[in-house]
Structures are given as C-alpha cells and as structure tokens.
Structure 1
Amino acid sequence: MQLRFGLTLVLSAFTLAGCSTMGIGNGSLDYKKASSLEPLQYPEGSMVRPATPLYPAPTVEQLAIDHAPKLENKRGNRFALPRPEMTQTDTSANDAVETGTNTGRPQLVTDGNQNPLLKIEGNSDTIWQYTLATLGSLNHTIAGQSKNRHEVTLKVDQQTYVLRLTSVGTSNNLAVFNANNSFADPQKAAELLTQISQNWPA
C-alpha cells in the first residue's frame, strides 16, 4: 500500500513540475533549423497563373542576426522569453552611454513642429550601422547612400524618402525627409520610424 502511494506521489510530482523543468525539448526552437526552399516549379505546358508571394521573406543582414536576442531557456532546448532585468542604481551604465560604448533603444518622439523622430543615445557611427542593418531586414529599396554623412535614400511604396541621422554629443535623432529636403508626411514618417524601432537589432 505504501509503495503504491509513493509511486502515485512521485508521478503526481512529475506531472505538476512539467516537462520544462526536466529539460525536455518540445520543438519550439525548430524554426532555427529551417532551410530556404526553391520556388515551386510547375510542369511545362501546364495552365497555371504565375504566383507572386504576398509576403516575401526579407534578406536579413548578418549584423542584425549577430545582435538578435536569444529567446531560449538556460538549457538551450526550448523557446523562452527573457525575464525582466533588475534596475541597476550604479553609474556604470550612464558612463557607458557617455563614452559611446553602449547604444540605447530607439524612442519615438516629436519635435516642436510635430514631426516624428527616433531618439537614440550612444555612438553615432554604431547607431548608423544598426540603422543600415535594420533597413536591410525590411523590404524597402535603398536607392543611394551618402559618403560624407549619415544619410540614405530609400523607396517606400514607390515614394522616395531620405533618412538622416543628426547627432549632438551622445544624443542622436533619426528623421525622415522628402526628396526636396522638407520633412516627410508625419504619418508616413511615423510608420517608417516605428518599423525601424521594432526591428532594431541592439
């Protein structure tokens, strides 16, 4: 009787603990092993309309892949969101931002004329590399890039825009302009800047 009760108790404990504590994989990280497939080939002479993908897979730059967060548990066999980090009260984080060794997350703000901007703290060269890597993960055509300053010309929905990064110390602003150097439509600019913020690699 005691043996049967003990066996029932052990099985109940395993059931309550679940598979996650025992480190059993559940296939939630299988997407990392996915491979690219060739486009579907139709037999010659078949009456099939040409298929155009509604959501083509974007080409992701290596910089974005290298800085992507690792959403897995400590054993590396299950998908898991990271727990919130405790707020640090020391000044080391502030010192890192001041010296340009750390890059903050983009924040969508507006200037005095209600033009949307992305405000980013850190080194301007590093931020510009992150910006280009983010644009590489989006489906926008880059038409040109300035060699003298942080500026790139791109096409979004057949419309040409200029994305420009301006810096004052460690504070950087990313803004969207029209081809004639005027500020872009606030709604269109906010959509583009939101896409950049959501896909930011750092």
Structure 2
Amino acid sequence: MQLRFGLTLALSALSLAGCSSLAIKNGSLDYKDTTTLEPLKYPQGSMVRPATPLYPAPVVETLAIENAPKLENERGNRFALPRPEKAQTNSVPANQLDVTNVSRPQLLRDGNQNPLLKIDGNSATIWQYTLASLSTLNHTLVGQSKNRYEVTVKVDQQIYVLRLSSVGTSNNLAVFNADNSFADQEKAAELLTQIYQNWPA
C-alpha cells in the first residue's frame, strides 16, 4: 500500500514539474541539423510546366550562422527564447519638466477648413499665454470654465467660446459658438489671428 502511494506521489510530482523543467530533448533544435536538398528533377521528356518556388530559401553566409544568437536552454537540448532584458527608461520626473517651454503658435486649418492655433508645450502655460493675449484685446470676457481650458468671449456683440484641447504635448485652440458648433470661419480666423499677433512668448 505504501509503495503504491509512493509511486503515485512520485508520478504526480513528475507530471506537475513538467517536461520543460527536466529539459528532456523534444526535437525543437532539429532545424540546426538540416541539409540542403537539391531541386526536384523531372524525368526526361515529361510534360511538366516549370516550377518556381513561391518562398525560396535564402542563402545565409557562414559568418552570420556562427554569430547568430543561441536560442537554446542551459543544457543545449531544447529551443528557448532568451528572457527579455529590463527596459531602461530615461523618464524625467514631472517636477523637473520645463513648463515654460512653449512653441510659437501656428495658424492652421482642420479638414473642414475651420481655423485653429496649434501650440506645442505645457497646456497650463499655453492657457495662461492665451488669457494674457486676450487681455490685451478689446474683447469682453464673459466667463471662464473652472474644469477645463475654456473661456467665453464677446466679440462685436457675438458670443464665442475659445477652447484649448490637447493630445500629448500638442495643443489646439479653436473658436466655437455658444451652442458648441464651430464659429464662422472668417470670424474665428480673425480672432485667432489677433491672439497670434499678441502672443506674449
């Protein structure tokens, strides 16, 4: 009874350990022992159309084979990929980022020909520059959002919303109507040009 129990326990331990931990040869390195075969030869006089290989085997130089990485386990009897190396990140801590590094605005148009200002840099700094340039213009600031970069401006008795949206370090400043539709292209271009011309940086 004890012998049967011991044998069952040993077999269970071997099955849990698996073949990979025992490094039993499984034929995964047999590709190293392949030989080059000659192309098929057809009998003389047979009606066979010419065959061209779809994926011809590349010719690999001996030097490349000698310097190829060894993709095998420690015992050399199984194929094994090397463990990935730990990635080294050269990230800069957030408190050390240069928040004053803001590019000069660029007047652009989106796919629907709506004008916008594209500015690269820190969104908070860009928004401060936007407010500073608006303060130099003779437009009435009606309100400012506390949650996002958005300000309501009255220009020639018309209400517009200036909104800064960002993707990564790229920011777009666009002009909208009060109902969130894009403002008239000429009026928007005029307002953004004024901001561009009075940009403090």
TM-score, normalised via structure 1 length: 0.51
Say yes or no: does 1:102 pair with 2:101.
yes
Question: How far apart, CA to CA, are the structure 2 residues paired with 1:174 and 1:163?
Answer: 7
User: Where does residue 139 of structure 1 map in the other structure?
Assistant: 138
Q: C-alpha displacement at 1:121, in angstroms? A: 0.6
User: Where does residue 187 of structure 1 map in the other structure?
Assistant: 186
In structure 2, stretches of 5+ residues that fail to align are 1-96
Q: Indicate if the aligned counterparts of 1:162 and 1:177 stay in contact, CA closer than 8 A.
A: yes
* 1:51-71 deviation digits (Å, cap 9, x = unpaired): xxxxxxxxxxxxxxxxxxxxx
Q: RMSD of aligned C-alpha atoms?
A: 1.1
Greater Rg by CA: 2
Question: How far apart, CA to CA, are the structure 2 residues paired with 1:133 and 1:100?
Answer: 16
User: Where does residue 43 of structure 2 map in the other structure?
Assistant: none
Q: C-alpha displacement at 1:100, in angstroms? A: 4.4
Q: C-alpha displacement at 1:99, in angstroms? A: 5.6
In structure 1, stretches of 5+ residues that fail to align are 1-97
Q: Which amino acid aligns with 1:157?
A: D
User: Where does residue 66 of structure 1 map in the other structure?
Assistant: none
User: Where does residue 200 of structure 1 map in the other structure?
Assistant: 199
1:109 counterpart SS class: strand
Q: Indicate if the aligned counterparts of 1:100 and 1:170 stay in contact, CA closer than 8 A.
A: no
User: Where does residue 153 of structure 1 map in the other structure?
Assistant: 152
1:174 counterpart SS class: strand
User: Where does residue 4 of structure 1 map in the other structure?
Assistant: none
Q: C-alpha displacement at 1:195, in angstroms? A: 0.2
Q: C-alpha displacement at 1:199, in angstroms? A: 0.3
Q: How does 1:1-80 map to 2 (within 5 A)?
A: none
User: Where does residue 55 of structure 1 map in the other structure?
Assistant: none
User: Where does residue 170 of structure 2 map in the other structure?
Assistant: 171
Question: How far apart, CA to CA, are the structure 1 residues paired with 2:100 and 2:126?
Answer: 11
Question: How far apart, CA to CA, are the structure 2 residues paired with 1:168 and 1:102?
Answer: 16
Q: Between the two proteins, what is the percent identity of the paired residues?
A: 79
1:138 counterpart SS class: coil
Structure of higher RCO (CA pairs closer than 8 Å, 6+ residues apart): 1
CA pair 99-168 structure 1, distance change in 2 beyond 3 A: farther
Say yes or no: does 1:122 pair with 2:114.
no
Q: Indicate if the aligned counterparts of 1:162 and 1:176 stay in contact, CA closer than 8 A.
A: yes
2:101 counterpart SS class: coil
Query: Which region of structure 1 is more displaced relative to structure 2, 185-194 or 100-109?
Result: 100-109
2:195 counterpart SS class: helix
Q: Which amino acid aligns with 1:116?
A: P
TM-score, normalised via structure 2 length: 0.51
Q: C-alpha displacement at 1:132, in angstroms? A: 0.4
User: Where does residue 111 of structure 1 map in the other structure?
Assistant: 110
Q: C-alpha displacement at 1:101, in angstroms? A: 4.0
Q: Indicate if the aligned counterparts of 1:144 and 1:154 stay in contact, CA closer than 8 A.
A: yes
